[in-house]
Amino acid sequence: MTRKDLSDIDTVNFFVYGLSQFITGSVGDNFRLDVVMPVTYTVQALCFAGVGVAGLDLYSGQWWYYLMFTLIGVFQCIVFPSFIGVIAAWFPKH
């Protein structure tokens, strides 16, 4: 892969993250944190493992990287509001 290919994949990740923030970002706010966070972190871990496996030349083609980083972008914007909710629960309201 060239630098151009890597920058395109990174651009897709951030673009999907930005767009998904409006659509799926509310999932982290509206559903149970004890379910949303483990599921989203597990999916992200599997996607990063998929990127690692592709780095071992077991998969060829850029479509795999685009798919993995698209999924990572979507699930990152789900977990961010959930993480903020957990941090906010640690501190008292007053």
- Backbone torsions φ then ψ of 2, nearest 5 degrees: -95, 170
At 60 the pLDDT is: 63
At 38 the pLDDT is: 87
- Ranges under pLDDT 70 in the chain: 1-2, 25, 27-29, 58-60
Mean residue pLDDT of the chain comes to 80
Looking up tokens 């640690």 gives: 90
At 28 the pLDDT is: 65
Q: How far, in Å, CA of 11 to CA of 14, rounded? A: 5
At 55 the pLDDT is: 75
Q: How far, in Å, CA of 17 to CA of 9, rounded? A: 12
Q: How many Cβ atoms sit within 10 Å of the Cβ of residue 25?
A: 17
Amino acid at 67: L
At 59 the pLDDT is: 63
